[in-house]
């Protein structure tokens, strides 16, 4: 029998992960990670509600439970980077960094201090004995995209009990076991923002710099509130309906030097499509599948739930150039390009610019 420390979020996925591990005869310890302590605009701290759910879950499963505070580590390793990226006009993905810096670093270290043989999470992923990260069995819930910064050595110490299941099966198991969060809504968006408006949240930390919205021809057609509030391919919230030929306007580019937002009309406009991307911070889970500067074929996702795209990758250390077989829409600096080979998630990098 192994001792397994399970990261419990207060949601149904991690609760069922703990249940399945207990049924398999493991000694299970539940741990709630408090990564963000700030209250929202209504004075509510979501962490307190989630911790209450964790206590109920553990009482139902009859397992010991703890709360550990990683708020300081989260602010230093994740949130500071998040703000830095937005200040540069990029669109970061903090969930990726949270997995690397908190769940598979700080939390894994904590689990080992409890003499655990393994840590476990409710991620919809799988792994093999060699430490390869595999897609989850449910294609609609597969979360390997968010774990591409992990390493094989970390994955060998991790268990993913719900990775072989579909979401509907997870909820059914929870219902049958009487787990109190069986119908709890899945969390969405960035954890530390919660239900608040994103723009209002960001304004608390970064000064806005309004500027012009311009067309390809340089015509000023509106004002933006600050480049950090917009992302490539965005349609909603531009506030310039009725102009041009009647089609919707989309964000095509950000001119950081002149503080201008370039807009185009039509979701199929050529300026929304790119043949390649420059990437940095290239990392591999279980070693690079190839080396050298010769372009190699690879499958890539540029956003969560996107179908795999055929591409070629030319590496130069931790930087690289991706060339897509088919032009890709709204390639966004700051987002992750994640590499696959069949069901195996190989690693990935951060998009620095579209090409």
* Residues classed as catalytic: 98, 191
CB 134 within 8 A of CB 145: no
Q: How far is residue 323's CA from residue 295's CA, in Å, rounded to a whole number?
A: 9
Closest C-alpha to 6, from 126, 111, 96, 149: 111
Strands (E) across 217-335 are located at 220-224, 249-255, 260-265, 273-284, 296-301, 309-316, 319-329
Q: How far is residue 21's CA from residue 37's CA, in Å, rounded to a whole number?
A: 29
Q: How far is residue 9's CA from residue 15's CA, in Å, rounded to a whole number?
A: 8
Counted residue by residue, the chain has a size of 355
Q: How far is residue 167's CA from residue 187's CA, in Å, rounded to a whole number?
A: 14
Q: How far is residue 38's CA from residue 276's CA, in Å, rounded to a whole number?
A: 39
Q: How far is residue 144's CA from residue 140's CA, in Å, rounded to a whole number?
A: 11
């Amino acid at each position: 029998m192994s001792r397994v420390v399970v990261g419990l979020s207060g949601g149904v996925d991690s609760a069922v992960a703990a249940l399945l591990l207990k049924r398999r005869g493991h000694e299970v310890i539940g741990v709630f990670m408090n990564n963000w302590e700030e209250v929202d605009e209504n004075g509510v701290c979501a962490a307190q509600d989630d911790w209450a759910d964790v206590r109920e879950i553990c009482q139902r499963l009859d397992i010991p439970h703890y709360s550990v505070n990683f708020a300081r580590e989260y602010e230093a390793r994740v949130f500071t980077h998040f703000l830095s990226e937005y200040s540069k006009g990029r669109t970061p993905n903090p969930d990726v960094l949270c997995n690397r810096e908190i769940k598979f670093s700080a939390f894994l270290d904590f689990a080992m201090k409890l003499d655990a043989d393994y840590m476990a999470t409710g991620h919809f992923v799988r792994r093999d004995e060699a430490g390869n990260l595999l897609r989850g069995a449910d294609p609609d819930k597969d979360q390997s995209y968010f774990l591409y910064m992990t390493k094989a050595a970390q994955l060998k110490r991790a268990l993913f009990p719900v990775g072989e299941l579909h979401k509907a099966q997870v909820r059914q198991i929870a219902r049958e076991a009487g787990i109190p969060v069986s119908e709890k809504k899945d969390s969405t968006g960035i954890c530390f923002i919660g239900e608040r408006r994103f723009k209002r949240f960001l304004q608390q930390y970064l000064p806005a710099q309004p500027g012009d919205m311009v067309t390809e021809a340089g015509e000023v057609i509106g004002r933006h509130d600050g480049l950090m509030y917009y992302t490539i391919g965005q349609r909603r919230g531009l506030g310039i309906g009725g102009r041009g030929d009647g089609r919707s306007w989309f964000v095509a580019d950000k001119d950081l030097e002149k503080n201008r937002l370039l807009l185009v009309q039509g979701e199929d406009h050529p300026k929304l499509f790119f043949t390649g991307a420059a990437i940095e911070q290239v990392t591999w889970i279980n070693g690079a599948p190839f080396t050298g500067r010769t372009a190699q074929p690879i499958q890539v996702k540029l956003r969560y739930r996107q179908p795999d795209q055929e591409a070629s990758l030319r590496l130069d250390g931790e930087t690289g150039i991706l060339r897509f077989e088919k032009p890709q829409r709204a390639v966004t600096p700051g987002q992750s390009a994640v590499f696959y080979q069949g069901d195996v998630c190989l690693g990935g990098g951060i998009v620095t610019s579209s090409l």
